[in-house]
Amino acid sequence: MTHELPALPYDYSALEPVIDTQTMKLHHDMHHGAYVKNLNAALEKHPNVQSKSAEELLRDLNAVPEDIRTAVRNNGGGHVNHTMFWKIMKPKGGGDPNGAIAAIIKKAFGNFKDFQAKFNDAGAKHFGSGWVWLVASPGSEDARIITTPNQDNPISQGLFPIMGNDVWEHAYYLKYNNRRPEYLAAWWNVVNWDEINKRVESLKSHREPALAHR
């Protein structure tokens, strides 16, 4: 079984002006495309782990053969992270969170504005490439913000990624240049709270978040 690059759930231009068309094309087709290609190439060497989902591989990296462990961590992480990323955005998104995610944010941060400020600050201060996340332990609704380097996904630490934003320069540099905080602030206008609420349902029931495409 091979992993596949999922189609974007909207046009390349759909997230304008927050995320520009050219960035979406390069980010999805080239960057995410390369993670999928490189993940498949690594797994070709070990048919015994090819039946596992990308999430299963990341959840127990020690079970991945050592000679492909770094490749699976980086490219499997890149695949799972971006599969989530495209889904948790939508054109005309944003606004205040609703439903279960609103309750989680209120419990952990008091209000949405304070959560946004802390999430943006963590993303802005993260040194180099990586992701900023809202995570919880599976089955718990006590959420917190973490950052991870490179393409590391929180599931490798036993945490459930409720939502995350990509702070690699490839995510924003064409439009925002070095102004990462501007990108982080604008990103809230394309957040898809309905999709994030679906992920919260998975968190509550200890299920995997929607699996990355194979």
Binding site for Mn ion (CB under 5 A): 166, 168
Give φ, ψ of 5 to 5 degrees: -75, 120
- Which helix (H) or strand (E) segment holds residue 203: the answer is helix 193-204
Q: Which is nearer to Mn ion, 112 or 173 (CB)?
A: 173
Give dist(CA 187, CA 162) in Å, integer. 16
Nearer to Mn ion, 26 or 49 (CB): 26
Task: Of 85, 110, 93, give the one whose Cα is nearest residue 170.
Answer: 85
Is 108 in contact with 144 (CB distance < 8 Å)? yes
From the CB of 146, what's the least distance to Mn ion, in Å? Answer: 17
Q: How far is the CB of 120 from Mn ion (least distance, A)?
A: 18
SS3 label, residue 194? helix
- Closest CB to Mn ion among 28 and 104? 28
**Residue 34 or 49 having the CB closest to Mn ion:** 34
3-state class (DSSP) for residue 133 = strand
By beta-carbon proximity to Mn ion, the closer residue of 77 and 93 is: 77
Which residue's CB atom is positioned nearest to Mn ion? 166
- Beta carbon of residue 161, minimum distance to Mn ion (angstroms, whole number): 14
**Minimum distance between the CB of residue 28 and Mn ion, rounded to whole angstroms?**
9
**Minimum distance between the CB of residue 123 and Mn ion, rounded to whole angstroms?**
13
Environment class of residue 185 by beta-carbon count within 10 Å: exposed (0-12), middle (13-18) or buried (19+)? middle
